[in-house]
Chains A and B, each alone.
Chain A
Amino acid sequence: MSNIYIPHKARIASIKQETADIKSFQFELLDSEVRKNFKWKSGQFLILSVFGVGEATFTFANPQTRAEYVECSIKKTGLVTEALHDLEVGDIVALRGPYGNWFPFEKFKGQNLLFVGGGIGIAAIRSPIEYSLDTRNDFKDITILYGGRSPLDICYFDKFDEWQGKKANLVLTADKGSEGWKHKVGFVPAVLKEMKPSRDNCTVITCGPPIMIKFVLKELTDLGFAPEQIVTTLEMKMKCGLGKCGRCNIQQLYVCKDGPVFDYAEIKKLPDEF
């Protein structure tokens, strides 16, 4: 009998305060056997346990090519995330996974990649961004558009040296600027419209708040992108991550097992409310 609900023990190896309400955590799996066999792919997710509080679902923020630790960037939003923000380096947590499907990078080979992220959605596309940088020769141009509500809400400043320059092109925007902000000001979809990316031989990977996704999809469609060229990750309330607890379904699909990565052609077949 296999108890699929028992998680792997882990220790918090580092914590980085990204913004006022977002922290990046590195988790180290305690058991060396587990650590050796714990392999994931960009796009998959894990379920993290904070003892005394419960479990919550997060995406892997780092790719399989940088797998020394399990990394998650977590915004303080609910009970579990609030408790996580109170933990310190060395504290014991646990995690189970990896679950779900992943970005089909083999299909993107030889293409231009455009990443569009907003808010904490950047955590979900940091992993595919870094994966594509690590397999750089497989792709042509890599462009990253990332926006936050304000300059203070932008994470990953320490990664931007790698994200812009020889390997990729980074465009930052804030809904509202501030003094000293040298980047764009405006909503992500508006900046996207201005950038006028070419649809030729290009795949877009996007993640962000539902309202951003909605308008990003509209802009991309206006620019002539086909639904199959746009890939995103969906989120739904999940408890088990194993296709059993019955709540993350969108019609007959379970986000935890059939997703979380879907292309826009698949999403278009689903009802509007998602």
Chain B
Amino acid sequence: MQNKLITQENLKALVNELAASNDVFAPKRENENTVSFGKINSFDEYVPGVLLTNTTVKDKVYLQSEQLFQYELKKDTVEFKEKAPGKEAVIFGGRPCDARGFDVIDKLFNWSGYEDGPYTGGRKNTTIITVSCEKPELTCFCTSFAGGSPADGKGSDILLTPVSGKFLAEVLTERGEKLAAKYSKYFTDASDAETAAKAEFAKAAETKITKKLDLAAVKKNLDSSFDSPYWDTVHLPCVKCGACTYVCPTCYCFDITEKKFGYLNGERNRTWDSCMSEMFTKMAGGHNPRTDTKRRFRQRFMHKFRYHVDNFKEELCTGCGRCIRRCPVGIDIRKVVEEAK
């Protein structure tokens, strides 16, 4: 689809109209110091200037805890009930690294011959309108990844980039086209000059990113360092809080648990889990292949930059840098994987 243009006023009107009939999630002020993705009822609740929200937007599709089904035991059988599909949702104002996170975990939830309905159902219901980043921060490293950029559209349905006081709207998917067609009154066609201005914007934003990982070298180092004494010490500052895994747009590991209501009713739930927890791999009978922090810490980084690359040909990371900012002891994922040897 041809690139579109949308003015500030029209964007506001669009978001307001969307919010009237859909769940619209956007960066929203939770309290004085915290902006997270929350449901907004009008554009005025949206906090536009924020680069990285407190938590990832992943949880608006891949819920932190969700019901897989309910059951009711009957005489000689059991009945299952699935929850009704959610409302159409729009994620507005996320960043390219957030949107790219969906692209990464979409593949996981569709691989191995099984489509994960509880995830993909919500995903297909969600339109993602992303805003390019003008001023990346010191913890940003999205340009390390193939095609990664503060103005990259991977995972987004529509990418908005500020251009001469308006937004260039790149409509990238069928879902995006549907939305743009439905609300065509707010959009005008963009000129070549405006499209070119976006390229300039991207170039300028990319130069502000100070850290770029050499991922081929990282992979090579991780491939040969599993038994290295490097891991004996690098994990020592870690306090095993698991915050890194909870704020990550690509961490997907989960637990399946059961909640019982009386003797006959209950529900099965899926909840985010963390490889940093001791219980993560502890088996019935007590055997645990990842007995200590060293092994769990190594698993986290190896998974992201080695194992996942072996299986999916891309890293399990989008360079958002949230784990670096949230870590209470200042562990920097870039440093950990770059220095592994």
Contact = CB atoms under 8 A, between A and B. Distances in A.
Interface of A: 1-6, 9, 11, 30, 49, 51-56, 77-81, 90, 92, 94, 210, 235-237, 239-240, 242-247, 249-252, 254, 257, 271, 273-274
Interface in B25-82: 68-69, 71, 73, 76-78, 80, 82
A239 B255 contact: yes
From B256, B266, B290, B303, name the one whose CB has the most chain A CB atoms within 10 angstroms: B256
Given A2-B115, A3-B68, A56-B284, 16 more contacts: A1-B85, A1-B117, A1-B121, A3-B117, A30-B77, A52-B258, A52-B266, A237-B281, A246-B252, A247-B281, A249-B299, A252-B306, A252-B310, A273-B289, A273-B290, A273-B295
Smallest CB-CB A-B distances: 7 pairs: A78-B284, A243-B112, A246-B253, A252-B310, A1-B117, A252-B307, A1-B121
25 contacts: A1-B120, A4-B114, A4-B117, A5-B69, A5-B256, A6-B68, A9-B77, A51-B71, A51-B258, A52-B263, A54-B256, A54-B268, A55-B258, A78-B283, A92-B73, A92-B76, A92-B77, A210-B287, A240-B254, A244-B108, A245-B253, A249-B303, A249-B307, A250-B289, A271-B226
Nearest to B263: A52
Nearest to B261: A52
B114 A5 contact: no
B191 interface: no
A243 B285 contact: no
B275 interface: yes
A249 B316 CA distance: 15
Contact of B80 (A6, A80, A274): A6
A6 B268 CA distance: 9
Contact of B76 (A11, A49, A235, A244): A11
B260 interface: yes
Given A5-B270, A52-B263, A242 B114 contact: yes
B260 to A, nearest CB: 4
Contact of A244 (B68, B252, B307): B252
A251 B120 contact: no
B284 A79 contact: yes
Contacts of A245: 253-256, 273
User: How large, as a class, is the contact surface on chain B?
Assistant: 35 or more
Interface of B: 68-69, 71, 73, 76-78, 80, 82, 85, 108-109, 111-112, 114-118, 120-121, 124, 226-227, 252-258, 260, 263, 266, 268, 270, 273, 275, 280-285, 287, 289-290, 295, 299, 302-303, 306-308, 310-311
A244 B106 CA distance: 11
A76 to B, nearest CB: 9
A77 B268 contact: no
Contacts of B287: 210
B68 A81 contact: no
Contacts, number: 130
A80 B256 contact: no
A80 B268 CA distance: 14
Contacts of B280: 237, 247
A251 B112 contact: no
Nearest to A92: B78
Contacts of A30: 77
Contacts of A5: 68-69, 118, 256, 268, 270
A273 B292 CA distance: 12
A78 B78 CA distance: 24
B68 A251 contact: no
A2 B115 CA distance: 7
Contacts of B226: 251, 271
Contacts of A92: 73, 76-78
A23 B114 CA distance: 32
B78 A9 contact: yes
A244 B114 contact: yes
A54 B258 contact: yes
Contact of A52 (B252, B260, B275, B307): B260
A92 B121 CA distance: 29
Contacts of B266: 51-52
B242 to A, nearest CB: 14
Nearest to A253: B307
Given A244-B112, A244-B252, A235 B283 contact: yes
A243 B117 contact: no
Contacts of A54: 256-258, 268
Nearest to A7: B80
A21 to B, nearest CB: 11
A249 to B, nearest CB: 6
A210 B283 CA distance: 13
B259 to A, nearest CB: 9
A247 B275 contact: yes
Contact of B254 (A239, A257, A271): A239
B275 A246 contact: yes
Contacts of B112: 242-244, 254, 257
Given A3-B69, A4-B116, A271 B302 contact: no
Contacts of B85: 1
Contacts of B120: 1
A9 B78 CA distance: 7
A113 B151 CA distance: 61
A94 B258 CA distance: 14
Nearest to B80: A6
Contact of A236 (B111, B117, B118, B283): B283
